Amino acid sequence: MSETLSGADMLVRALQDEGVEYLFGYPGGAALHIYDAIFKQQKVEHILVRHEQAATHMADGYARATGKPGVVLVTSGPGATNAITGIATAYMDSTPLIVISGQVPTWQIGTDAFQETDMVGVSRPVVKHSFLVRDCAEIPRTIKTAFHIATTGRPGPVVIDVPKDTTDPAITAPYDYPESVSLRSYKPAKRGNGRQLRKAAKALIDAERPIIYSGGGVVQGDAGPALTRLAHRLGAPVTNTLMGLGAFPGDDEQFIGMLGMHGTYEANMAMHHADLIFAVGARFDDRVTNNPDKFCPDAKIIHVDVDPASISKIINADIPIVGDALSVLEELDPLVEAELGKQPERSEAAGKAWWRQICEWRDAYGLDHVMKPREDGIILPQQVIQSLYRATGGNAYVTSDVGQHQMFAAQYYKFPEGRRWINSGGLGTMGFGLPAAMGVQFAYPEATVACVTGEGSFMMNMQELSTCLQYGLPIKVICVNNQALGMVKQWQDMQYGGRHSQSTYSDSLPDFKTLAEAFGHVGFRIDHTGDLDAAMDEAFSAKLKDKVVLVDVWVDPDEHVYPMAIKGGSMRDMYLNKITTSQQGDYM
Amino acid sequence: MSRRVLAVLLENEPGALSRVVGLFAQRNYNIETLTVAPTEDATLSRVTLSTDGSDEKIEQITKHLNRLVEVVKVLDLHEAACVERELMFVKISAQGAERAEVKRTCDIFRGQIVDVTAAAYTVQLTGESGKLDAFLRALDRSAIIEVVRSGVSGISRGEKVLSA
């Protein structure tokens, strides 16, 4: 005989049965029955945020750091719409999220009732799936199905819209939590096709100029070690996308940096000149390919992705493989080993020549060449990241916001493994960094968590400093302060004749040091290279281990991010600094 | 670019159709015609939609449709032989000498007159979309009062079946 519970109690019990640790949310009228059910239990801890957008980013950060789904609870109307940006962020970067939204009672739906929004309709283009609960008895199965869909295949956010009457404490139904669900219309592929795998193994061995291009799918699939093993077996260069950083260790000698719009010179050149591109869990995003018509003219393409719709969407794949990154890489490794055994005479010379070429590129225009430290003590944003990397020994979880600081962090922090670098790559959501860092810190209370942000992004969700105080989250906020919307300004410098339309506000910025103090935290302000390392060391010192520290670093406002892809060109077409492009030199 | 007809088997649930239609809008694909009704299995709906695009575009549409959780199966009916039909009603002004001419044209196209007034005929016509277009072209344009078309419905020839 199963227990009989109200919809609200069932909902909370189902979250317990899913092993949910944290529920990030904000109460309101339509969700109050659920909040009362939360009050009566201790297993699921509710985290009270200051804005619903931040709740979704926290859940997202938690999910990206752990691989477990992040769970959000908001009320109807504005609570639900405030969550949309966070849902869209998770959708674009394929993170598993469960967003439970209160809804007006069933009989009021469609009447333009107070705080009514068609949440299923509003969220439809940015969710993997959504549910509108029609009866309290549906709640256990709906929640089980939502978790199943969010976490399998290509992960993504799932919305459950819960009308208030379905959580009414006076209406009860039997509670039976299903152990598993099976949907006839949803069966994601896991294993790659055997014939395609054998073709891929042969192509990898036959290639003279191979490159491994791995993306967020390898991080999400926890396939980093499998990728690393295969890459070491092949001896091929590896480049990671913005979303894939860390999946292959950033300090490995086969790593040639990030690729794409702000990728390294050597990574973009190697892509362009490759004869084989092995793409795993990456989606040939426009920020990677530049002009698809000019993309990598000599390359044969192997494309592994769990989502069939990502394959041949932008660039046609010669060997498409639909499957989970981990499963495909694990099955491919012995095939590659066997192929290597069959061709012991396989030319080492070709591999050596390819690496020699890549090293030449790196020596000519690698990141060290791009950055020119200043003599006058003005800090460059790149130096902030280098200092952070040094102070944390490369072992921090680093979240970022969106803009120049994000690209500098991606370029200069070498991540040792996946899930260490957490940023909004697809949607590019400013305001993501701080709440995402908080989600990471909830997951790993003892870990060092740094949020690299800019003063523009930071001001989009800085109210969460209050939440940090409430829950004792010792985030270290590194604010790369260039007193402007740096990336917008860079584009205006490069494409709009230096007309800085609405991208500067230097006379109206708050004092971030006292701002941090007002929220009960510690703040520093640094504006000279001589003070940078000491401030960074202090921020990460044992003395301040339990404190939020906001390090406001004033940097050169005129620095640009380079390399930068030249619009409409191929991957080898880049601006290398303010005066040089790759097209001008004898670069090959 | 070619016109293609896709048959989609869908969970018969509230909101499922809006996801299909929303996908087309979201990905900037065109829907030319759309029909939907439950199948013999009441838990399933069958959508037939016609669209146009290159082979690559149709492949993308098919993949994205398959990605929707409530979509059970998708079939490009033009991949193999199929039967496709569309139903049309046309209200035609039919007075005086033209009245007999309208009736003759209707007979040639094997249309049925389903309603009659002193001034107009309402004609029902079934066939491939091209036949319906031809009928409309055969009429005096100014005589056409109202046109209602159902959109294409289709089924594979032979033993091939679209089922869950």
Question: B116-162 pLDDT, tens per residue?
Answer: 999 999 999 999 999 999 999 999 999 999 999 999 999 999 998 99
Report in angstroms the alpha-carbon separations of A397 from A154, A389, A495, A533. Answer: 23, 11, 35, 19
Contacts 24+ apart (CB under 8 A), B114-123: B114/B89, B119/B93, B119/B94, B119/B95, B120/B91, B120/B92, B120/B93, B120/B94, B120/B145, B121/B91, B121/B92, B121/B94, B122/B89, B122/B90, B122/B91, B122/B92, B123/B89, B123/B90, B123/B91, B123/B92
Residue entry with tokens 């609570």: A79
Question: Per DSSP, what are the bridge partners of residue A452?
Answer: A400, A478
Which of 47-66 (B) contact A at CB < 8 A?
56, 59-60, 63-64, 66
DSSP conformational letter for A167:
G
Q: How open is the CA angle A528-A530-A536, to the nearest 5 degrees?
A: 90
Give the contacts of A296 (CB within 8 A, at least 6 positions apart). A271, A272, A274, A277, A570, A571
- Residue A585 confidence (pLDDT) above 70: no
User: Cα B137 to the chain's mean position, in Å?
Assistant: 18
What pLDDT is stored for residue A341 in this prediction?
Answer: 85
pLDDT digits (tens, 9 = 90+) for A124-172: 999 999 999 999 999 999 999 999 999 999 999 999 999 999 999 999 9
Is residue A114 among the annotated active site residues? yes
Confidence of residue A588 (pLDDT cuts 50, 70, 90): very low
Q: Which residues in chain A (117-136) have CB-CB distances under 8 A to chain B? A: 120-121, 124-125, 128-130, 132
What is the length of chain B?
Answer: 164
| Catalytic residue, candidates A3, A114, A208, A352 | A114
Per-residue confidence (pLDDT) for residue A347, from 0 to 100: 66
Per-residue pLDDT, A574: 95
Where residue A368 falls among pLDDT bands split at 50, 70, 90? Answer: confident
Which of B146-160 are b and which e, b meaning 16 or more Cβ less than 10 Å from the residue's Cβ? eeebbbbbbbbeeee
Residue A253 has pLDDT above 60, yes or no: yes
Query: What element of type H or E holds A555?
Result: none
Q: Tell me the residue type at B53.
A: G
Instruction: Calculate the average pLDDT of chain A.
Output: 95
Distance CA A321, CA A334 (A): 17
Looking from the CA of A577 toward its CB, the CA atoms found within 13 Å total 12
Active site residue A164: yes
A231: distance to nearest CA of chain B, Å?
30
Contact B56 A312 (CB under 8 A): yes
DSSP annotation of B87: E
pTM, to two decimals: 0.95
> pLDDT at position B53, please?
87
Question: Cβ separation of B15 and A312 shorter than 8 Å?
Answer: no
B19–A312 C-beta distance less than 8 A: no
CB-based contact, A106 to chain B, within 8 Å: no
Please tell me the predicted confidence (pLDDT) of residue A435: 98
Cis peptide before A297 (omega within 30 of 0): no
Which of A:289-318 have CB within 8 Å of B? 307-309, 312-313
Q: What is the mean pLDDT of residues A98-111?
A: 97
Q: Which of B63, B65, B70, B162 to mutate to test the interface with A (most CBs of A within 10 A)?
A: B63
Is A271 in the active site?
Answer: no
Q: Known catalytic residue: A375?
A: no
Residue A1 has a pLDDT of 64
Q: Which residues in chain B show pLDDT less than 50?
A: none
Question: For residues A128 and A186, is the Cβ–Cβ distance under 8 A?
Answer: no
Residue-averaged pLDDT of chain B? 94
B14 contacts in chain A (CB < 8 Å): 132
Whether B28 and chain A come into contact, CB under 8 Å, resolves to: no
Confidence of residue A351 (pLDDT cuts 50, 70, 90): confident
> CB count, 10 Å around CB of A546?
9
pLDDT band at A586 (very low <50, low <70, confident <90, very high): very low
> pLDDT value at position A587?
43
Predicted local distance difference test score (pLDDT) of residue A348? 72
- For A336-339, the CB contacts below 8 A with 24+ separation are A336/A201, A336/A204, A336/A205, A336/A230, A336/A233, A336/A234, A337/A233, A338/A201, A339/A201, A339/A202, A339/A204, A339/A205
- Residue A190 is among the residues annotated as catalytic for this protein: no
Which of A123, A185, A187, A315 should we substitute to test contact with B (largest number of B Cβ atoms within 10 Å)? A185
**A114: pLDDT strictly greater than 50:** yes
B53 forms bridges with which residues in the sheet?
B2
Contact B43/A at CB under 8 A? no
What ipTM was predicted for this assembly? 0.91
CB A456 within 8 A of CB A535: no
Q: Give the separation between CA A236 and CA A205, rounded to whole angstroms.
A: 10
What's the gap in Å between the CA of A199 and the closest CA on chain B? 23
Contacts of A579 (CB under 8 A, 6+ apart): none
Between helices A52-66 and A78-92, what is the axis angle to 10°? 30
pLDDT at res. A344: 67
Please tell me which residue in A41, A108, A115, A357 is annotated as part of the active site: A115
B18 touches chain A (CB under 8 A): yes
DSSP state at residue A324? -
